[in-house]
Structure 1
Amino acid sequence: MENAFIFDFDGTIAETIPLSLAAIRAAYADNGLPEPSKREVVSNFGANELGMFAKMTPERAESLFESYVNQYRALHAKYSPEPFDGIGGILRKIKDAGWKLGLVTGKHPRTAEASLGFYGIRDMFDGIRCGGLNGSVKPENISSLLREWGADPKRTWYVGDVAQDVLDARAAGIRPLCAAWAKTKLSDQAELEALRPEAIFGSVGEFEAWTERMLNSCAKVNK
C-alpha cells in the first residue's frame, strides 16, 4: 500500500489567513456593507468561503463571494507573496521519495487554485480536495484520497495548523501532525497539546528534519 502525506493549506503551506481577512474586508467594502468583526469571521471558518458568506450575510452571499475572489487574487502578492520558507523543498522531498502527496483544505476551489497557481505548486499534489458549503468535510475528503490512492491509513499523516485538523485526521483514521509555525494562529499551543497529536512543530525547519527521518526510516524498511 502507498505511504502518504496530506496537507492543510491556510497556515500550513502559507501565511494566507491575513490575505483572506483583507479580502473579506475589501469584499464588504465593495458591496457597501458593514465589515464583520474578525471574531465573527473566524467563528465561521470551517465551511468554504462561499459557505462562510452564506452564514454571515445570506442575502448577499454570491456577490460578496465574487468580490472576495477578485480581491483575494488582487491582494495575494501584498499579503502572501510566497509559501512558508522551506515548504516547497519538503514537498519535493516527499514526491522524490515516491510518497503520495495530497492537499485537503477548507478553501473554496477558486481560492485554492488561485493560491496554488500563484505559488506555482499546483502540480506537486497527487490529489486535491476543497471545503464544503456547510462546514468541514475534511474526514470525507481524506478518506476519498486514501481510497483513490490505495494508501495505508497507518502510514498516512495529515499536517494542519488548528485543533480541528487533529480531530479530522483521527476521524479519517490517519495520523495527525500540527504545524505551529504560522504567525497568525487560530489554535494556541495548549489547545494543540491537549489533543496529543503525534508531533507539534514550531518551525518549518523542525518539520523538515522530522520528515527526512521518516522518509529515510521508511525507505530502509522497504528495502
Structure 2
Amino acid sequence: MIKAIIFDFDGTLADTLPVCFYAFQAVFKEFDNVEVTSNEIKAMFGPSETGIIRENLLHPHHDKAIELYYEKYTEKHKELVLDNEEINHLLHSLKREGYKLGIVTGKANRSLLISLECLNMNDLFDVIITGDDVTIPKPHPEGIVKALAHFNIKNTEAVFLGDSDADILAGKQANIHTIGVQWLPNYQTLEFKVQPDQMFKNINEFTDAIKDIRNK
C-alpha cells in the first residue's frame, strides 16, 4: 500500500526552470562574460546551484557569484514562476487523503525555500531533502533513501515523481515505483532514456491513477 508520494521539484512541482536559467545566465554573463544557453545550463544540472557555479564558473569569486544567483532568482521569481492551480489542488488533495508528501531535489535549500515561500507551499511537505543534504546528487538514490528512512517506510510503500533521467535513475536504484512527468510548460527530459514505471503528461490522469497505485 502506498503511504508516501515523493516529488522532484524543478519541472515537476513548479515551473521554475525559466527563473533558474535567467539567474544562471546573469551569473555567467557578469563573471565570465559568456552567454550560456538553456541547454548548456541543463547539461550542468545534477549538483545544487552552488555546486554548479563552483564547478563551472571560471571566475574565482564563487561566493559573490552565488549571491548574485540568489539575488536574480528572487528578483524574477514571481514574474517567471506562476502559481499552478492544478499542482496546488493535487498537493492539497493528496494531503487530505492521508499521504505523506516529500521533496527530493538537487536544488540548494536556500533557493527551494525561496520558491516554496513564493508559491505558498511551505506547510505541505513532511520531509524535504535538498542538494545540500546529500553527499552524492541524483541519479544516486541517497536523497530518496533518506526520505524513505524519515518516513520509516519500505520502498514498496512510496512512489517518486520526476521530470529528468536523473530522477528516474535515482528512483530505479532506490527500488521505488518511478513516475515520469511532463505536465508543466518546461521540463528537463523530452524523452526518457530509462523508462519510468509510469508516465503522465496530465495531472488529472495521475490523480486518477494514484487510486489504483495505492492499493498495489
TM over 0.5: yes
Tell me how far apart the structure 1 counterparts of residues 126 and 167 of structure 2 sit (CA, whole Å). 20
2:11 is matched with: 11
2:63 is matched with: 62
Gaps of 5+ in 2: none
1:36 offset after TM fit, Å?
2.6
Tell me how far apart the structure 1 counterparts of residues 19 and 135 of structure 2 sit (CA, whole Å). 22
Tell me how far apart the structure 2 counterparts of residues 102 and 45 of structure 1 sit (CA, whole Å). 21
Query: Mapping of 1:4-153 within 5 angstroms?
Result: 4-31=4-31, 33-58=33-58, 59-82=60-83, 84-132=84-132, 136-137=137-138, 139-153=141-155
2:201 is the counterpart of 1:202:
yes
2:138 is the counterpart of 1:167:
no
SS in 1 for 2:85: coil
Tell me how far apart the structure 2 counterparts of residues 9 and 85 of structure 1 sit (CA, whole Å). 16
SS in 1 for 2:156: strand
Deviation sequence 1:5-30 (CA, Å, 0-9, x none): 00000110011111100111223344
Calculate percent identity across the aligned residue pairs: 28
Do the aligned partners of 1:85 and 1:204 also contact (CA within 8 Å) in 2?
A: no
Tell me how far apart the structure 2 counterparts of residues 127 and 154 of structure 1 sit (CA, whole Å). 18
Alignment size in residue pairs? 213
Q: TM-score, normalised by structure 1?
A: 0.86
Deviation sequence 1:62-92 (CA, Å, 0-9, x none): 211110101101101111021x331111112
Greater alpha carbon shift after TM alignment, 8-17 vs 39-48:
39-48
1:134 offset after TM fit, Å?
7.6
Tell me how far apart the structure 1 counterparts of residues 199 and 114 of structure 2 sit (CA, whole Å). 28
Do the aligned partners of 1:25 and 1:35 also contact (CA within 8 Å) in 2?
A: yes
Gaps of 5+ in 1: 219-223
1:135 offset after TM fit, Å?
5.7
Greater alpha carbon shift after TM alignment, 60-69 vs 106-115:
60-69
1:136 offset after TM fit, Å?
1.7
Question: Which aligned runs of 4 or more in structure 1 are off by greater than 2 angstroms?
Answer: 26-40, 132-135, 182-186, 211-215
Q: TM-score, normalised by structure 2?
A: 0.89
Tell me how far apart the structure 2 counterparts of residues 134 and 100 of structure 1 sit (CA, whole Å). 24
Deviation sequence 1:112-151 (CA, Å, 0-9, x none): 0000011111110000010159862461121112112111
